[in-house]
């Protein structure tokens, strides 16, 4: 059966052809996920509890405010491959980076460097640089970057092994994106953790583009800590709460690590309302919490986490490989591709890894013509995607709500735009 026929689409996704007349195609879930239909009623129920109960809504009613984050733990643990006590929902992504760096970045004169990926998301970079400066070191000297060694934009496993092996004794912390926001490259987090631990490094990950997108096994990989947001693939809404993981082995027993920065909500539930001067930490990652999470944000996140449980990660991952693979296949078939021997020819180039094991849902493209022009013309045709650094256009078919029909229609629209409006554009310098 041809891969670009309606029959093929229906065979793998019965919902894919239900609406051929939709006004737009949304391929921007890597930036902000779409709103779940039940979100409004979920939030209304929590608001109603506050309206009817006042201060009593902390301990009774719909999603009691004092415990509103507890139902999130098991569901988030499911997504990241962790024990419930290893995860917590709190704050936003960059706040959580700052909090965990305060505890896990412990520089010495001999070991003060932090390893990151070049062209990482800048909020990560700002947080890391600020901590290096705060500890009295120079970011220009204490930062090491993993860089592509060729023009394919990707960091090879060999280069990662080489840098960690060479610099490991000087590295205090390895802090990488699980999936690179720019290229869509998925890093081998288990292998990186193993290599880092062999050198005595602490290993942490930013999972903003990984959670809800790729398979994660943080506990089994022995990752020290991780952080993430929830408004991308988890669809919890703009500015919704983030999450964090701290491995069980680091918080167990009397010698378990204590947060460098502490707050009331990091106390054990047994002593939280005793107002004791002594900090008695909560179990696991909850000890890193500072303040009572918002029940309104919690219910928005919870509703979406439950959808993931119902859909099943294995089913979503299977569809994701087909969906993104289908998009890649059609782009390569219908759009002119980059040729090493003729780089001057008009072309697009997919810089995301070709191997499905090394990527998630996202495809990142560069073009011989201005990428801003591509994006503007696609948007005029109802295609929602985005660009970064005026060089890369990011296009993401999300298996939870995107369809094979949308992928096909997008590629045909892109081809029409290319043939009629872009093929004669002057190449970018």
Q: Measured over all CA atoms, what is the biggest interatomic distance in the chain, rounded to whole angstroms?
A: 72
Q: Is 50 part of any known ligand binding site?
A: no
- Tokens representing residue 359 in the block: 């990527």
Rg (CA), the chain: 23
Q: Phi-psi category of 184—alpha, beta or left, where left has phi over 0 and alpha has psi -120 to 50?
A: left
Q: Is 209 part of any known ligand binding site?
A: yes
C-alpha 320/C-alpha 35 separation (Å) is 19
Q: Is 264 part of any known ligand binding site?
A: yes
C-alpha 271/C-alpha 280 separation (Å) is 7
Residue numbers in the known binding site are 93-94, 206, 209, 231, 264, 292
Q: Annotated binding site for pyridoxal 5'-phosphate: which residue ranges? A: 93-94, 206, 209, 231, 264, 292
């Amino acid at each position: 059966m041809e891969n670009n026929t309606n029959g093929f689409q229906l065979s793998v996704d019965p919902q894919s052809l239900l609406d051929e007349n939709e006004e737009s195609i949304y391929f921007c879930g890597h930036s902000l996920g779409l709103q779940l239909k039940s979100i409004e009623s979920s939030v209304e129920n929590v608001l109603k509890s506050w309206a009817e109960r006042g201060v009593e809504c902390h301990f009774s009613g719909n999603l009691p405010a004092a415990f509103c984050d507890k139902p999130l733990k098991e569901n988030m643990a499911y997504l990241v491959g962790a024990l419930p006590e290893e995860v917590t929902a709190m704050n936003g992504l960059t706040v959580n980076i700052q909090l965990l760096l305060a505890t896990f970045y412990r520089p010495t004169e001999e070991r003060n460097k932090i390893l990151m990926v070049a062209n990482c998301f800048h909020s990560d970079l700002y947080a890391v640089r600020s901590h290096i400066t705060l500890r009295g070191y120079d970011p220009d000297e204490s930062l090491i970057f993993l860089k592509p060694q060729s023009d394919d934009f990707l960091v090879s496993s060999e280069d990662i092994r080489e840098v960690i092996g060479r610099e490991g004794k000087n590295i205090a912390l390895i802090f990488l994106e699980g999936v690179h926001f720019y290229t869509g490259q998925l890093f081998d987090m288990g292998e990186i953790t193993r290599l880092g631990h062999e050198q005595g490094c602490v290993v942490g990950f930013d999972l903003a583009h990984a959670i809800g997108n790729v398979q994660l096994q943080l506990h089994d990989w022995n990752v020290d800590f991780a952080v993430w947001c929830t408004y991308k693939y988890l669809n919890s809404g703009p500015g919704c709460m983030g999450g964090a993981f701290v491995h069980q082995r680091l918080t167990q027993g009397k010698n378990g690590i204590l947060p460098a920065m502490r707050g009331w909500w990091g106390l054990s539930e047994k002593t939280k309302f005793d107002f004791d001067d002594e900090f008695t930490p909560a179990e696991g990652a909850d000890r890193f919490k500072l303040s009572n999470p918002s029940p309104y944000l919690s219910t928005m996140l919870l509703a979406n986490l439950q959808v993931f449980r119902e859909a099943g990660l294995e089913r979503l991952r299977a569809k994701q490989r087909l969906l993104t693979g289908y998009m890649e296949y059609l782009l390569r078939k219908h759009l002119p591709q980059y040729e090493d021997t003729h780089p001057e020819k008009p072309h697009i180039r997919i810089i995301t890894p070709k191997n499905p094991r090394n990527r998630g849902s996202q495809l990142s493209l560069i073009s011989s013509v201005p990428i801003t022009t591509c994006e503007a013309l696609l948007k005029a045709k109802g295609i929602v995607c985005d660009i970064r650094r005026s060089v890369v256009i990011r296009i993401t078919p999300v298996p939870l709500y995107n369809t094979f029909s949308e992928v096909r229609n997008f590629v045909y629209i892109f081809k029409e735009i290319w043939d009629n409006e872009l093929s004669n554009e002057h190449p970018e310098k």
